[in-house]
Structure 1
Amino acid sequence: MSTRDSPAQTGDLPPIGRPANSALLEAGISSLAQVAGFSRGELLAMHGVGPKAVRLLEAALESQGLRFAD
C-alpha cells in the first residue's frame, strides 16, 4: 500500500502522518489499544514510524490511561 492510498487517520489513532499511519495499518494496528501491545522500539523499527509519531502515540495512550508495552 502506498502512503497516498493510506488514510491520514485511522480509528482512534491520533493524526501521526501518512507514512506512520500506513506502517501501522500494514502491521494490523488500527487502534490505541493495539498500539499499547507494542514497545517504543518495536514501533520505531517499522518503516515510516519515527520519534515524532511515537511521541504523539504516547500522548494519546496516556490520555486513555494506556502505555507502551515496554
Structure 2
Amino acid sequence: MGTALALWMFPALLVFVAIGIPIAFSLMSVALIFGVLRFGDAAVFQFISKVDDVASNYILGAIPLFVFMGALLER
C-alpha cells in the first residue's frame, strides 16, 4: 500500500498546483493527507510537532527579516 500511495502523491500535488494553491501549501496538504492515509492520527501529531519546532526557532526568524531589510535598502 505504501508504494501505491507514493505513486498517487505526485499527481495529487499537480492537481493542487493546477487549481492555484501555492506550492508550499500544496506540499503540506499532500503530505498531511497521504500521511493520514498511511499512518493514521500519528501523522497529524507529527505535523503539528514539526510546525511548532520550526515556528519556535529564532534563528530561522532572521531570514525573512534579512530579506525585508535588503528590499528596504534597495529602494
- With normalisation by structure 1, the TM-score equals 0.31
* TM superposition score normalised by structure 2: 0.29
Query: Which structure shows the higher helix fraction?
Result: 2
RCO (CA 8 Å, sep 6+): is it higher in 1 or 2? 1
Larger radius of gyration: 2
